[in-house]
Every structure is written in structure tokens, then in C-alpha cells.
């Protein structure tokens, strides 16, 4: 009974696997047939292209030579320019103000007004004509670690609540594009002098120095008062208590003198003194180091590699490819010129 029941199921499974095998076999057969047809048509197309190229070899050769000549001419006529950059840290003047002040030079460069640029930078007109552009950009800190991760070359950075990226407020980058790198040192000195002409720069710096000096004097006065209070707390107060008790300190007073209530005023004075001393040290350091308007962290460095000149081989290959395509198109049109003219007339 069992064998009779299982026999149809076994036959169904065998038939199912047989159909699956035939389906897979047919699929692979069709796939390889398709590959074969593609290769065949590629061979036919290559054969016909070769025949066409040999028949029109003189036309393709002429266009190829024209492409190579055009590529070399393009390389020779391109005026090379060079890129260098400087990083500036600001102290008494905000970065946004100096960026705007620097980009006023950029606006003049865009108009190619060499005379106005020479007057702004106090350089000759010929030196000003060598400057292609000079632009200031914000530095972006992506990780909030104070390190610049990228430059906002597009001037379109917008902080949001999702990303942690933010502008670095006290540093920015200036990019100089120049046609003659031998003038980079001169431009560096003149550009630094130009930044020092920012309106009321000396007054802003003097006010900051005066404020820091006043703050240092005020804290020194407070420290002097606190020193007197501590001296009184530690020495005079106990001496007065001793004199009041005729040179004898009762036993209960000795016990009370070691309680936290007795030590608390002195501890508070000590903490306040430490805070003021720390603040004063920071003010003194800022007065000595950070009262200049700005400082160049990196200056413009002379460079030798132009940024806009590709290698002659790459340019020649581009022009060669374009000229060959034009040559093929011209050959096709020339070969079928009669049919084309007849079609146009009709």
C-alpha cells in the first residue's frame, strides 16, 4: 500500500526536476546564443569600420594631423597661472571684517582694473596685472575640535542642527592666483600692509590693550586686598583672640578653632585668590601675545607648477579623438554626398 501511494509523488518530483533542468539549460543556451550574436555583429562592425577607414585613410589622417596641431596650439596659447594660499588668525579684528576687506580686492580683480588694484596694494600696474584673483574664504571645522577640515570655496556654508560643522571664527584662508610666481613675495608684503590699512585698526587694538591693562590692574588690587584679608584671618585674628583672653586660650576655644566653621572663611579666600590669579595670568598672556590685529599662520609660498596647464600629451589626445570623430563624419557625408544632395533637392 505504501509503495503504491509514494510512486506518483516520486514521479512528480522527477518530472519537476527534469523541467527545471531543461529550463536552466534553455536559459544558458539562449544566453550564449545572444553573446555569440553580439560578438558576431561586433566583428562585422569592426570589419566594415576597418574597410571604411582604409578607403578614407587620407581623410582621417588629415583630420588627425589637424587635431594634433590644434592641441599643441591650445597648449601654447594658454596663459599659465599659479595658486598659493595663506592662513590668517585674527585677534582684535573679526575674521568676517577682514574677509570682506580682502574680497574688495577680489571685486577689483574681476573687473581687471589693474590701475585700481595697484593703488589699493601700493604696487606697480604691471605687478597688479599679474594678479588673476585674490579671495578670502571661511575655514570649516566639521568635528568641533578647532582644526580646519575644509575650505568654504563656494561661500555657501550654512550651519544646521544635524551636523556638527561650524565656521572657525578666528581663522580664514586667502587664495592668490597669479600669472608670474616671482612676484608672490612682493604681493605677500603688500597684502599684509593692505590689511593694516583696515579702518580704525590701530584704535581697535589700542582699546583692547587698554582694557586688558585696566583689568590686570583691577585684579592686582583685588589680590592685594585678599592677601590682607588672608593675613588677618590666619594671624591677626588669632592674636587678637589670644590677647582678649589674657594670653590664655580656653580648652573649648582650641577645640572650636579646628572646626570647619573656623576654616571656611580662609578656604573661600584661597579659592577666590586662585581664580583671580588664573584670570590675571590669562590676561597677561593675551596682552603679550594677542593684542596684534592679526597674524599670518602661513604666508603665500612661491610655487612652480601651473594649475591650468594640462600635459601636452593629454591635450593632444583629446584633440586627436575629436578630430577623428569629425573626420569620420566628414567621410560619411562625402561618401554619400550624392544621396544627400538628391534628398535635399526633393
What's the pLDDT tens digit per position in 23-75?
Answer: 787 888 888 888 888 888 888 877 777 777 777 778 778 888 888 788 777 77
Distance CA 153, CA 144 (A): 19
- The DSSP secondary-structure symbol of 141 reads E
Assign 3-class secondary structure to 168-196: EEEEEEEEEEECCHHHHHHHHHHHHHHHC
Ramachandran angles phi, psi of 290, nearest 5°: -120, 25
Q: What is the pLDDT of residue 264?
A: 47
Q: What is the pTM of this model?
A: 0.59
Mean pLDDT of the chain: 78
Distance CA 94, CA 78 (A): 39
CB atoms near residue 236 (< 10 Å): 11
| 346 band by pLDDT with thresholds 50, 70 and 90 | low
pLDDT of 98 above 80: yes
Pair 301, 184: CB distance under 8 Å: yes
**Angle at which helices 184-195 and 114-121 cross, to 10°:** 70
**Which pLDDT tens digit goes with each residue over 129-183?**
999 999 999 999 988 888 888 999 988 887 766 677 888 989 999 999 999 999 9
Distance CA 68, CA 312 (A): 10
> For the chain, what are the domain ranges?
2-76+313-345, 82-198, 205-291
Amino acid at each position: 500500500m505504501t509503495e503504491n501511494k509514494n510512486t506518483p509523488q516520486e514521479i512528480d518530483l522527477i518530472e519537476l526536476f527534469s523541467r527545471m533542468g531543461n529550463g536552466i539549460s534553455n536559459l544558458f543556451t539562449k544566453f550564449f546564443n545572444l553573446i555569440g550574436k553580439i560578438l558576431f555583429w561586433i566583428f562585422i562592425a569592426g570589419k566594415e569600420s576597418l574597410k571604411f577607414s582604409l578607403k578614407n585613410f587620407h581623410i582621417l589622417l588629415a583630420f588627425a594631423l589637424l587635431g594634433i596641431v590644434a592641441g599643441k596650439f591650445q597648449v601654447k596659447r594658454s596663459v599659465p597661472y599659479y595658486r598659493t594660499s595663506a592662513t590668517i588668525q585674527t585677534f582684535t579684528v573679526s575674521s568676517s571684517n577682514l574677509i570682506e576687506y580682502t574680497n574688495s580686492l577680489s571685486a577689483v580683480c574681476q573687473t581687471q582694473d589693474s590701475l585700481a588694484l595697484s593703488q589699493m596694494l601700493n604696487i606697480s600696474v604691471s605687478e597688479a596685472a599679474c594678479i588673476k584673483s585674490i579671495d578670502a574664504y571661511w575655514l570649516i571645522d566639521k568635528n568641533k575640535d578647532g582644526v580646519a577640515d575644509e575650505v568654504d570655496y563656494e561661500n555657501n556654508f550654512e550651519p544646521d542642527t544635524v551636523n556638527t560643522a561650524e565656521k572657525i571664527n578666528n581663522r580664514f584662508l586667502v587664495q592668490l592666483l597669479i600669472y608670474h610666481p616671482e612676484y608672490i613675495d612682493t604681493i605677500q608684503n603688500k597684502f599684509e600692509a593692505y590689511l593694516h590699512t583696515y579702518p580704525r585698526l590701530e584704535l581697535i587694538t589700542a582699546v583692547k590693550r587698554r582694557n586688558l591693562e585696566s583689568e590686570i590692574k583691577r585684579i592686582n588690587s583685588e589680590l592685594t586686598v585678599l592677601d590682607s584679608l588672608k593675613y588677618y584671618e590666619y594671624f591677626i585674628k588669632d592674636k587678637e583672640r589670644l590677647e582678649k583672653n589674657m594670653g590664655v586660650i580656653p580648652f573649648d576655644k582650641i577645640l572650636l578653632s579646628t572646626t570647619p566653621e573656623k576654616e571656611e572663611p580662609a578656604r573661600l579666600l584661597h579659592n577666590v585668590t586662585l581664580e583671580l590669579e588664573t584670570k590675571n595670568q590669562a590676561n597677561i598672556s593675551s596682552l603679550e601675545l594677542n593684542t596684534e590685529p592679526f597674524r599670518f599662520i602661513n604666508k603665500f609660498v612661491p610655487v612652480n607648477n601651473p594649475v591650468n596647464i594640462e600635459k601636452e600629451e593629454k591635450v593632444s589626445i583629446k584633440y586627436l579623438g575629436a578630430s577623428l570623430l569629425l573626420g569620420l563624419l566628414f567621410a560619411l557625408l562625402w561618401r554619400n554626398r550624392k544621396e544627400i544632395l538628391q534628398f535635399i533637392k526633393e
